[in-house]
Amino acid sequence: MPVDVVRVDERAKIHLTTLKRRTGIKNWNVLCRWALCASLAEESAPAQQDIGMMSNVEMSWSTFGGASADLYAALVRARCEADGIEQTPDAVANQFRLHLHRGIKYLIGDEDTKSLSGMISLATRSQ
């Protein structure tokens, strides 16, 4: 697992709250999974950035990933390898956080995320 506890910053919390309202998806973990996948699908590596002040949104890794927690961990590690990032625990954790926050920004900025059906079409869109 890249991190023991998944946390998001205040800005991401506001974005996730907006996404919950728009889509009717009630659980933070589901939206965070979508966000991670949206970022991992991007060809470029996320830019290094300081994550802002942490919010009260947090969940365990097992809650974040559910039954697919090992798959999400493997995807993050594989992406690190593809991007030439060393596989140290700190580097993998940092990349996970960067991908998660970038993905949340992608979702909030995409017109398709204004409804649940739009989110589904976003997930099924060809790259």
Q: Between the CA of residue 8 and those of 54, 82, 84, 98, 125, what are the distances in Å?
A: 6, 25, 25, 10, 26
pTM equals 0.89
Express each pLDDT in 30-89 by its tens digit.
999 999 999 999 999 999 887 778 888 899 999 999 999 999 999 999 999 999 999 999
Q: Which of 60, 12, 63, 20 is nearest to 39 (CA)?
A: 12
Domain with 75, as residue range(s), is 5-124
Domain CATH number, residue 46: 1.10.1220.160
Strand, helix or coil at 60?
strand
pLDDT at 18 over 60: yes
Number of independent structural domains in the chain: 1
